[in-house]
Amino acid sequence: MDEYYWDTRIEYLRNSRDLFYNDDYLEFLVKMVWKIEAPVHIVDFGCGYGYLGLKLLPLLPQGSTYTGLDLGNKLLAEARQLFARLPYEASFIQGDIQQLQLDRKYDLAVCHAFLLHVSNPLDILQKMIDCVTDGGKVAAFEPHWIGNAANFYLHGFEQSQHVQLGLLQKLYELDAARSGKDGNIGLKLPLYMSQLGLTEIQCRVSDKVNVLYPRMEQEEKHKLYDDLRKSGYADAPGDREIFIDQLIARGATPEEAGVQYDNELLLSQQFNSESLLTYAANMKITFGKVERS
């Protein structure tokens, strides 16, 4: 059996997550927006190594529990090791989320950067709803890739020198039409949740803007630079002919593909630890209430 892809990407997942949220904003979300004042039972769809549990449990009332669901054995082994050191009640279920059947016993169903990777996000949202008790919540932390791409600025260069927003939007839309996997799902989730009957729907945006500049504290600077590099934000595009052929296969014109190659090559060559850079992942946090009566 082929190795599960995300089991090979644990290091990427660790590095990229720190770019998405400020802890004080998550605390504001839990305590001031969701107003969770009693212990809750959380289930996390596509939990990976338990990232959302690690972030949310310290903010929730004592006695809250966490259940993580994922296909990846290595991811769940990492999660179990991390949570074994912590004072929280956590359990993990390995299996294909498309097939898993869950009891209706959770107060909060969550997912993080998961729905964009499935071809049937409404079906998965319905599964999340079905396992939540009346009055509970469903919350999805998902990206809007084109907004993400627009929020990356490297000082000394026009943004158009390292990203073609029009081309990327076209490619994202064509990819979604072919596979059903939609990197721009973040802004669509309020409508999907409405279609599935959730109420009190809101969509928030993470407030984190990463700022890299030469005079910042050295340890912080090197961590941010490493996180950006290891997350692939300035990867060299590799062989020009292969890169261009792959973009053409996705729907780019030869001219668009050539310009995109040059853009990515320039970014990979110019970005370094002394760069002045701002980047906001702009993650969308969409949630709604389950009411069956």
Strands 89-94, 65-70: pairing kind: parallel
Residue 260 lies in a domain: no
* pLDDT score recorded for residue 36: 97
Burial bucket for residue 195 (CB in 10 Å: 0-12, 13-18, 19+): exposed
Helix (H) or strand (E) holding 136: strand 132-142
Domains in the chain, number: 1
* pLDDT score recorded for residue 41: 98
249, HSE (Cβ side, Cα atoms, 13 Å): 6
Residue 214 lies in a domain: no
208, 19 Cβ separation under 8 angstroms? yes
Residue 112 lies in a domain: yes
The domain of 43 spans 5-144+183-209+282-289
Residue 223 lies in a domain: no
Residue 232 lies in a domain: no
Over its length of 293 residues, how does the chain's per-residue pLDDT go in tens digits? 468 999 899 888 988 999 999 999 999 999 999 999 999 999 999 999 999 999 999 999 999 999 999 999 999 999 999 999 999 999 999 999 999 999 999 999 999 999 999 999 999 999 999 999 999 999 999 999 999 999 999 999 999 998 899 999 999 999 999 999 999 999 999 999 999 999 999 999 999 999 999 999 999 999 999 999 999 989 999 999 999 999 999 999 999 999 999 999 999 999 999 999 999 999 999 999 999 97
**CATH number for the domain including 111?**
3.40.50.150
Residue 155 lies in a domain: no
* pLDDT score recorded for residue 219: 95
Please tell me the pTM assigned to this model.
Answer: 0.95
